[in-house]
Amino acid sequence: MPDIRVGVIGAGHLGYHHARIYKSLPGVKLVGVADSRLERRNLAAADFQVDVFESAEALLSKGLDAVSVVTPTITHEEVTLQCLRAGVHVLVEKPIAPNVESAERMTAAAEEHQRLLQVGHIERFNGAVMALEKALRRPRFIECHRLSPFPGRGVDVSVVLDLMIHDLDVVLAITKSEVVSIDAVGVPVFSESEDIANVRLRFASGCVANLTSSRVSLEKMRKIRIFEDNAYVSTDYSAQEVLVYRKKPGAIPAGSNPMEHISIDPLDVCKDEPLKLELAAFIECVQENRRPLISGEEALRALRLARQIEDNIKAQPAHG
């Protein structure tokens, strides 16, 4: 099978790593990198010995099979449509778009041009999340914390679309149930939109999820904790660790400390780099013309919920 000819559009903080990984993946030829900023083009050219281009158009003219779109979210629709119209399969970073209408036009264009559209919900390729998904039976209560210091990037959208959307995608995947109520609050600190947000979601299954996201935190934390009838599963996304706490079988003897009757077992986790697994999965879908795990439609579900949460924040009496 000939190498898949790949390009990267947007070689900023994350696009640099897309280029690094494509450069090393078997069966892939990194044809070029496009970025409107000279210093980012120079860095990619020096580190990856690859041709660089000032515009997406110039890169697309080299003839690509597939491309990563890693530009700011407000540009995703324009750049993705340009690539799909050129007949190129697209992996666009998350969130798919800043609004549902844009995302719908993107999924419709992929359909129209018969090209694949994958969206970079990277946590689904995190070995910890893959292990967690297999271990769960019936989540009753979910607690997510995604906190980080102010990045100075990604602030073209609120923290709900920037950070919380990772957890919304994972929570939707593990609850497999419809959201029936939303109660959210958010506060802007350094940017125009929310920099901290919290939401309580209730699902038709009865499960409740409480998610907190902040991009103005002094410390970094990325955790999802899930409570089931007989187990508590604690996952650290960054450390790629999953611990399962269970009550040991049998009755607790009178007078003993019940906490001593809890077993704590780590799950086996594949600790490979999630971005590498995500890009490898995209290339495999291109080679086999197979629908990606995180298709445009899947990403639209998370985006619709994220936008409902933003609307709910704005509708709170104390807002503004």
Site track 273-292 with ligand NAD (rule: CB under 6 A), x = hit: --------------------
Size of the site for ligand NAD (CB under 6 A): 25
Closest CA to 201 of 176, 184, 186, 187: 184
The stretch near ligand NAD (CB under 6 A) out of 36-44, 100-108, 172-180, 283-291 is: 36-44
Q: Where are the alpha helices (DSSP H) in the chain?
A: 15-24, 38-48, 56-60, 76-85, 100-112, 127-135, 159, 165-175, 274-288, 296-315
User: Using the rule CB under 6 A, is 73 a contact of ligand NAD?
Assistant: yes
Task: State which of residues 116, 117, 122, 142 lies at the interface with ligand NAD (CB under 6 A).
Answer: 122
- Binding-site member from 29, 43, 45, 75 for ligand NAD (CB under 6 A): 75
To ligand NAD, the closest distance from the beta carbon of 229 in angstroms equals 32
- Member of 24, 27, 37, 149 binding ligand NAD (CB under 6 A): 37
Q: Which of residues 124-183 bind ligand NAD (CB under 6 A)?
A: 153-154
- Interface with ligand NAD (CB under 6 A), residue from 14, 25, 135, 187: 14
Per CB under 6 A, does 222 bind ligand NAD? no
Say if strands 66-69 and 4-9 run parallel, antiparallel, or are unpaired.
Answer: parallel
Residue 10 touching ligand NAD (CB under 6 A): yes
Instruction: State in angstroms the smallest separation of the CB of 231 from ligand NAD.
Output: 28
Nearest residue to 299 (alpha-carbon basis) of 31, 45, 91: 91
In the list 4, 21, 31, 71, the residue contacting ligand NAD (rule: CB under 6 A) is 71
* Residue 310 found at the interface with ligand NAD (CB under 6 A): no
Q: What is the residue-wise DSSP string for 125-190?
A: GSHHHHHHHHH-S---EEEEEEE----SSSTTS-HIIIIIHHHHHHHHHHH-S-EEEEEEEEE-SS
Among 13, 85, 140, 291, binds ligand NAD (CB under 6 A): 13
* 265 burial level (CB within 10 Å; 0-12, 13-18, 19+): exposed
Nearer CB in complex with ligand NAD: 155/286: 155
Q: Does 94 bind ligand NAD (CB under 6 A)?
A: yes
Residue 81 Cβ vs ligand NAD, minimum distance, rounded to whole Å? 12
Three-state secondary structure call for residue 123: helix
Residues 46 to 65 in contact with ligand NAD, rule: CB under 6 A: 56
CB atoms within 10 A of CB 170: 25
**Is residue 91 near ligand NAD by the rule CB under 6 A?**
no
In eight-state DSSP terms, residue 91 is E
Q: Which residues pair with 197 in a beta bridge?
A: 186, 213
Q: Are 115 and 87 in contact (CB under 8 A)?
A: yes
Closest CA to 211 of 201, 221, 226: 201
Closest distance to ligand NAD from the beta carbon of 16 (Å)? 8
Q: Which amino acid is at 172?
A: L
CA quadruple 306, 102, 93, 225: dihedral, nearest 10: 10
The amino acid at 123:
E
Contact window for ligand NAD (CB under 6 A) among 33-41, 96-104, 172-180, 299-307: 33-41
In the complex, minimum distance from the CB of residue 261 to ligand NAD, in angstroms, rounded to a whole number: 39
When the beta carbons of 79 and 142 are compared against ligand NAD, the nearer one is: 79
Rounded to whole angstroms, what are the CA distances from 213 to 71, 167, 168, 275? 22, 9, 11, 21
> Which parts of this chain interact with ligand NAD (CB under 6 A)?
9-15, 34-37, 40, 56, 70-73, 75, 79, 93-94, 120, 122, 153-154
